[in-house]
Amino acid sequence: ITATAADGIKLNQLGFLPGADKVAVVPDGAARDFSIVRAGSDTVVQSGTLGPATNAPESGDTVRLAHFASLQTPGRYQLRVAGLPDSPPFEISASAYQAVNAAALKAYYFNRAGVALDAAHAGIYARAAGHPDTQVLIHASAASPARPAGSVISSPKGWYDAGDYNKYIVNSGISTYTLLAAYEDFPAYFQAQRLNIPESGNGVPDILNEARWNIDWMLTMQDPADGGVYHKLTNLRFDGMVMPAQATAPRYVVQKTTAAALDFAAVMATASRVYAPYDAALATRMRTAAQQAWRWAQAHPRDYYRQPADVATGEYADNDVSDEQAWAAAELYITTGDNAYYQALHAPEQAMTVAAWSDVRGLAWLSLARHRKTLGAAADQALIASRVDGLAQQLAAAWQQSPYGITLQKKDYVWGSNAVVLNQAMVLLHAYRLNGKRAYLDAAQSGLDYVLGRNAVELSFVTGYGTRSALHPHHRPSVADGIDAPVPGWLVGGPQPGQQDKQGCPQPYPSALPARSYLDHACSYASNEIAINWNAPLVYVSAGLQALTPA
């Protein structure tokens, strides 16, 4: 299957929780009504009137919305409109997103570096270990008196960043934090979840077991001599499309950067409070590591990443670290209660934005909002609430005006657009938790609907989930493992008009329109790669909707 001219009914192919808002996108035609039938039958259980026809410039089509929130009886259904094929089948179920949520977390296990995946946990995706990273070279850009260029450190474990096999602290920062945030916000949900990973059953929730695999690696990326943190652990060039065990190029740690130190500090401060009930010594170690990285960053406020001439892998370069500074300050304040960190946050100057690896200031506000009841007097409660609600209002307004009924706007179709819509949903869920405005919950639902099929290319962007899902992600194990089906549970990057990969692709993109500029081919790293920072808001939002949607 390839995503070409998709002109059918578009909806969340997994379905809906009984109490959720429910919307489908219908291409404009002669019909003015829709019905819902029991899947595979002509038994009509509900009918309704389509909304007004609206032109969607991002996808170049004219569509109408079908609203059917009042359908709440569990079952399997299809949406029917005269003149069109029936929609893909979907379920109404109280556990609609449990499986995709568990798979999105299990995907991290499948991307573990430095360990064999055994059949008991990985099933058909079992594979040999690769990238032990116990003999990692200090790159010239990272040399220090105690660790000269060419000397060797051990920096094992961690997750591969994406479809490539490198490990990047900046992107690990937002990814790991978002999983920890999901746990902080929905602890009961995750305490009940079992992922069948090697640590399952050890008394620690599996989401924390999985995050720990990456945190253990992150801890090794800090230079104990000064608290600085290496930006990345990488080959000099990207590996070919081979399995991990076949990828044996030398590995390096490259340049200590301010962004890496601050993202590291934010994650370790967060982890310190999250793991404290399970392991007090570990929590202390994380807190100390966070403070040491923070101090290094204060002494090196502008050490931006500069890709060395001999290194060609992912950059995650960013010349504005004011957001990383604010985020680290917020997490250190929440964890330590030390007012000096709140002052360092410069709260009134910090805008609220939708988080991305290069802009993490919104994470500071989300964490402050989450912990508002236990913050000290220094924290401005009204400001915290108004920052989160202010952005949610903007997102809800965009949602209300959108032809597809989504929060994505033209500017949001960037590399990793599927994570943009889910990070928007994460903000909306936080705002809903703060003030209970139902529109925020419904707008957040639209974000999950979008990635699970209510989009212009009518595809579930999560591998293995939905009747018609992405089949050919730019993901080295999925390409090289000899198994037709891609490794499941991964969110692909999604449509964006940059098409930076098109020279290397044997087939053209089906469209240049932002919402259709997507190629389901393994060549397409600009629209069809997978990445740890894109799966993390999928984990958050799919759990959040399960936990927050009223029955």
Q: Report, as residue numbers or ranges, the catalytic residues.
A: 164, 474, 520, 529
285 class by beta-carbon count within 10 Å (0-12 exposed, 13-18 middle, 19+ buried): middle
Rule CB under 6 A: choose which of 27, 114, 227, 314 binds ligand 9MR.
314
502 class by beta-carbon count within 10 Å (0-12 exposed, 13-18 middle, 19+ buried): middle
- Partner from ligand G3I, ligand 9MR, none binding residue 504, C-beta < 5-8 Å depending on class: ligand 9MR
Cα 156 versus chain centre, distance:
23
Cα 200 to Cα 198: distance, rounded to the nearest angstrom = 6
Rule CB under 6 A: choose which of 97, 296, 450, 525 binds ligand 9MR.
525
321 binds ligand G3I (CB under 6 A): no
Binding residues among 215-234 for ligand G3I as defined by CB under 6 A: none
Residue with tokens 């989504």: 406
Give Cβ neighbours of residue 12 (< 8 Å, ≥ 6 apart): 90, 448, 449, 452, 453, 454
Cα 2 to Cα 528: distance, rounded to the nearest angstrom = 12
493 binds ligand 9MR (CB under 6 A): no
Binding residues among 346-375 for ligand G3I as defined by CB under 6 A: 358
Instruction: Single out the segment in contact with ligand G3I by CB under 6 A; choices: 61-69, 113-121, 159-167, 481-489.
Output: 159-167
For residue 2, the tally of other CB atoms under 10 A from its CB is: 13
What residue type is 154 in one-letter code?
S
**8 A C-beta contact, residue 533 and residue 359:** no
Instruction: Single out the segment in contact with ligand 9MR by CB under 6 A; choices: 159-167, 224-232, 382-390, 510-518.
Output: 159-167
Longest dimension (CA), the chain: 76
21 binds ligand 9MR (CB under 6 A): no
- Partner from ligand G3I, ligand 9MR, none binding residue 358, C-beta < 5-8 Å depending on class: ligand G3I
403 or 514: whose CB is closer to ligand G3I? 514
Rule CB under 6 A: choose which of 109, 183, 190, 238 binds ligand 9MR.
238
- Partner from ligand G3I, ligand 9MR, none binding residue 86, C-beta < 5-8 Å depending on class: none
Cα 229 to Cα 223: distance, rounded to the nearest angstrom = 6
Least distance between ligand 9MR and beta carbon 465 (Å): 22
509 or 525: whose CB is closer to ligand 9MR? 525
Residues 352-380 as b or e (16 or more Cβ within 10 Å = b): bbbbbbbbbbbbbbbbbbbbeeebeeebe
Rule CB under 6 A: choose which of 416, 453, 514, 544 binds ligand G3I.
416
- Binding residues for ligand 9MR, rule: CB under 6 A, are 162-164, 238, 314, 504, 525, 529
Binding site for ligand G3I (CB under 6 A): 161-162, 164, 314-315, 358, 415-416, 498, 525, 529, 531
